[in-house]
Structure 1
């Protein structure tokens, strides 16, 4: 019997040593889930009378449980380590912060008050005490935010870091560790499948599809997550965490290129030559000039900090830390941008409600310094809240949180804040044609804004505008004349969207002047023509170096001589109107073509008249082969007034061929597009 007992004790000791050894090996590799299990077994095998050893092993468990968001287990383990007097002041800070994260504000306050006596200057202790005392009040006060758990996206594992994509925000990319993810093994770090990028699509009725794993080269058997997209939508930046059974591996940022509708394999983005630090949670600034990210590299303020690197045509520039007031000795993570330039990020170092809270960073237009604000409850909770994505300029979209999940899993929520927002939506398109996705819009305002914005694939652009501010917007596109619009945003008490149209005239093709009317069989312009003619006057004033030929056309009815004379007189009538309204006569040529140049059908017109085909020519023979009704339409299309651009250099050069007005240097505006974080508020 004695031998049996001795053998059992020996086997138990061997098993304990094995657990401790494996636990340390897993911990060194960052495999916190497996390490926690080994330390738990070691703790259970340690006799109660070995108080010091039990305390040390409880502390190891607490650290690992904290890393995998098993908050209740981490709190219990820390409590045991404290009971056995095996914790440092930093361990007690972590314990108090976990109490905050679990919503145990009274207990957290008690712990922070005790720590305050020993660490009166510690920022985490100071902010933790503020959090414990104020979080219940913030929760009671609430805010204008409304949140809803989006079960259509969520699984029974982690679903996090949503990111909207597409011109109409109808694709949602996010990370999930659900069972459908690639690979057969469970992660030694989290105890779940490794994360993959998933996508859900929204139909024309606003309903989201069940998520499916992104079928491309992006996903691997490693962890992929926290993605974002370049300003043009052609690049996906994401975090990738590879594994190595022998050495710890650190998170890195990779970039995937989009070809047609497929995302390619990610290539590592080298931010620094430091291979012993993590780089994660990429975000691209709205102007496309900066890559923001999270890192624990040396030179930060402690824990994880937010950094940025300039994006240049030749690659990434040097990295810089955002510093205070954004970064703290705690963790700052998951940067993301609202289109108006506001930076959203998550932190457990600022006063908050517990865990990671979402904060908003705005820059002062004069000093360019950050101002940090806390959006309150229910956007924030006692748990981790992070990973914002916005539906265009609206203050609504999605984020993720592990609130009210006892196992610490992250889930996706929607949010909406019905704030008062004034937006301007513009449409840039060719006259008598389609949208111009290659166009750009220059915007200046009387409050100092000077900005260039691209348009989306449908020729549209969106900005958030300030009430009481006047804006001038000039649309440009290669091969087309410029067009400008002006608008002053009224001061109103509700959100409104103002729509502006930017029809651009082609330099190389005839441009129809719509709604020009003459008296029957005469060259006299009717009063209904004034609006169209005034728009032409504005166009010529906006493009002062352009000369044009005014062309008038008739249908095939009547003699060639009569139609030629009438069309010439009508073209001259338009020219005379333009001269009378201030346009230099040397910029204008009137030509009446009669019925010599029948209309050539462009594709856009076939949408209105399906019986016509692109490049059909409305000759007399063509028209006579149509139905009576369609003949009338063809004749109407032939009776038109157009203009074509002859020159774009009128009055630019002197007699020696030199520019009359050389470009002069202009003082850089304090808020030009070269400055950091230019936005429309």
Structure 2
């Protein structure tokens, strides 16, 4: 941007300022349904865990069960075990663990867990920028092609930039030489110092011949970037540190920038004053007004700036005084330069220029959605043809006509910087819907009246939805954000999953299947399936109980102790390798080994029968002479636990 050379001098330095847990409603373990009895999965896990068995997923489920039911002090026990077993957990477990630790007064450890959560959830700004803008050229391409642009028709061979609407006029900055008795030249560019000019905006959008804006405002130094109140009686503008014939300098004797205010009386601009938050030691420039005219946005390198220059805001009080300037924060500002803010007249969007974000050139124009609480959503590059390989800045748009102006030093212009006019043909919007169907994990039947909760990346509740009669739920969500979806329903285990929303308009499907907390059993039920016990228990040619098998078998023992009238038939199977006779004998040994282990755990021998079936009941194609993978063969080495009496 050639305006850099205008402002960086020994006289004048311009920074181009340019659930928590929701209570899960679950059925009690002893609820009965007609002729069925029910197994409480969590109670079973707890009995197994109390016997000293350790399993990571089991500890997750136990901790979650109490966390989602708001019994945080009980969840601590199982989250303790989880992190002792494996400290490398997904980010949400650090958050849950932290909340639970606070419930027992362990704030020091809770804070450590929160620190880890922040690291895990990607709070490092550099990592976030990298991840969110990894394919930034594709994102910019998707945003491009929404403007028809052309030369504004008011440019000179000098620098013209920084326009603003005032009634039916466009007021802008220019270094053009309009003559006069006293001609003051900016030595670094051999151009005149910039002044404010205005052009009539005609009905067809054509701009009239530029004229000097106001002798009372234009001084012998630089004036630029004005903004006006709607009634046209007050203006804010940027000028060198110069007022009433006095020039102010910083400690290095450099003249910086300040924002000034002027009022209009009898058709003249008078009472020029410097705003109270200006300073001789830093620059303040490029004012922009909120639609209600209660907030002034600007760019500055004042103390508290995150980068070379940041965007700030300050409240304008009813008595004419000003609040304390506030940095717009890391959502907007980077380690680079943020400058030239502009707020749309519906207060929905903030436009600004930045060289601290991935873009097409030096300064690119970006836009951020303004939230209801005046915070800002994720930043978007407005794309080409507004942005290009050079500097693009000073964006201005009339929301009603969709016409506007911006400044660029791109090739093909008339001067150093030129003003271009544009028409917006398509709004830059990314609209996403998150939706899905809630079903039963076992039966695949839809689950109406399921409570679906939407959380942000910090687990703050956003919205809740009750699934309809088809199990369907839907949320309007923001593009490019991470959310957590939690589903709760009576008699089912609560389920919570993260989801990343794409950065393009569309629909994100997240259908979830819930596991029943209490599961029906009857004569003929295979407890291995009911308890989600893996079908692989035995190594090749072996009949001893592996450690992982012992953990799974303990679930069957727990259920049998809970149901003393239950009798089980243990059925052991092998793969097809080896001879049929060998496999028959091996499966018999495995059945006997399983029964013997269960008897040692306290189950009466009279309640257990068993038989080995060898390779006679394969569950896949892997019979003799057929080539199969090791995984396919392992699937056939299994045990079943069939209820024969209750």
Give the TM-score category using the shorter length: 0.3 to 0.5
Larger relative contact order (Cα-Cα within 8 Å, sequence gap ≥ 6): 2
TM-score by length of 1: 0.41
Instruction: From the CA coordinates, give the structure whose radius of gyration is larger.
Output: 2
Greater helix proportion: 1
